[in-house]
Structure 1
């Protein structure tokens, strides 16, 4: 079981926070947070349900993390194990996560795959997403995996799609010419690009693209 206690800051005031494995008692809170985090036009059918969350806990609880601030659950991150081939990286979120049910979780997988991360909007100024990501890096190291990998949404792309290809948009995000709420966040968390994945997720804001990004285990030679 994973437990990390630390402080976050709001207006220079330290507040106790805990990152831990989530369980069935947290499910309704996690469903509520997802609805707050991914409003329309994000497809409602992609939001968590109790069956999916139950699978996360039963199949790989080490990859089922949530964060509490002052005793309130306000974010979560979920991962599963996969055999990732960097020479053939392209896939869809639905394929690799079994539509979020993770029934294809591979206990012998070489990589930790990010199924989801979300933070309640009212807590987003506290840096909780980065703390959850760093905790997933702990899981990678503890399980002696090669990497953490996952697809990031590109919710800013629809504003530029008429003038930039997806590759041009990604390049400009990495040069700092364009800010993307998700990809810029992932860069700040230490993730590096692998490949652009078309039709990665049903997501109008991203024009259905995802950017596959990884964090390599610094204790492994890959």
Structure 2
């Protein structure tokens, strides 16, 4: 199981933090984080319920991480394993995560797929989201997986929909010409775009678009090495 103790920073002040696997006793705190992290217009039915979280901690506990500050859960990140084919990347969030219930978790999958990441707004200045992401990268390396993958919302797109296609919007964000609250964060965490997907998730701000973004395991054997070249 995973447990990491570290310091995060509030400006120049150090703040003790713990990243660990979440458990059933943490469910009330996790639900609170969901409510604070994804306020309307984000659909409330997409917040975690206890059945979903029970599946997370029983089917793939390695992919159920939370971060604590002074004993209070300040954020969480959840994943499952899937067998991803880069030649056929199209999917919706509901399809690939079983609508958050992860009953389709594949223990032999090649990819850790991010179901969700959220940090309570009062703690976001501490950079906890990035630490959760880095910790999940460590899970990818530990399990010898090929990549971490997930679909990022594009909440800034609704401001530019009349000017840019989703692909043009993504390109502008990657170039630094625009800043998106989610995509820019994922880029700063080392994720790289795979492609834009229509109807990825019901999300008014993103006009239901999502950007698949991956982090490739640098220790995973390349195809040439696998073939003995």
Name the TM tier (shorter chain): over 0.9
Q: CA-atom RMSD, angstroms?
A: 0.6
Distance 2:90 2:32 in 1: 31
Corresponding residue for 2:227?
Answer: none
Task: Kindly indicate whether residue 197 of structure 2 is the aligned counterpart of residue 197 of structure 1.
Answer: yes
**Structure 1: tracts of 5 or more residues without a match:** none
Deviation digits for residues 149-205 of structure 1 (CA, Å, limit 9, x no counterpart): 000000000010111100110000011010000000000000001111100000000
**What is the CA-CA distance between 1:15 and the residue it aligns to?**
1.1
Q: Shift in Å at residue 206 of structure 1?
A: 0.4
Q: Name the structure 2 match of 1:169.
A: 169
Q: Deviations over 1:138-159 (max 9, x none)?
A: 0000000000000000000001
Give the gaps of 5 or more residues in structure 2.
Answer: 224-229
Residues 118-140 of structure 1: per-residue CA shift (max 9 Å, x gap): 00000001000000000000000
SS of structure 1 residue aligned to 2:60: helix
Once the two structures are superposed, the pairs formed by residues 143-162 of structure 1 within 5 Å of their partners are 143-162=143-162
C-alpha separation in 1, matches of 2:29 and 2:148: 26
Alpha-carbon distance in 2 for matches of 1:44, 1:15: 31
Q: Secondary structure at the match of 2:155?
A: coil
Structure-1-length-normalised TM-score: 0.99
Runs of 4+ more than 4 Å apart: none
Offset at residue 11 of structure 1 (A): 2.9
Residue matched to 1:75:
75
Q: Could you say which residue in structure 2 is the equivalent of 1:186?
A: 186
Encode CA deviations 1:52-99: one digit per residue, 9 max, x unaligned: 000000000000000001221100000100000011101000000000
Structure 2 equivalent of residue 8 of structure 1: 8
Tell me the alpha carbon deviations over residues 12-69 of structure 1, each in whole angstroms, 9 at most, x when there is no partner.
1111100000000100100011011111111111110000000000000000000001
1:17-96 paired onto structure 2 within 5 Å: 17-96=17-96
Aligned to 1:105: 105
**How many residue pairs get matched?**
222
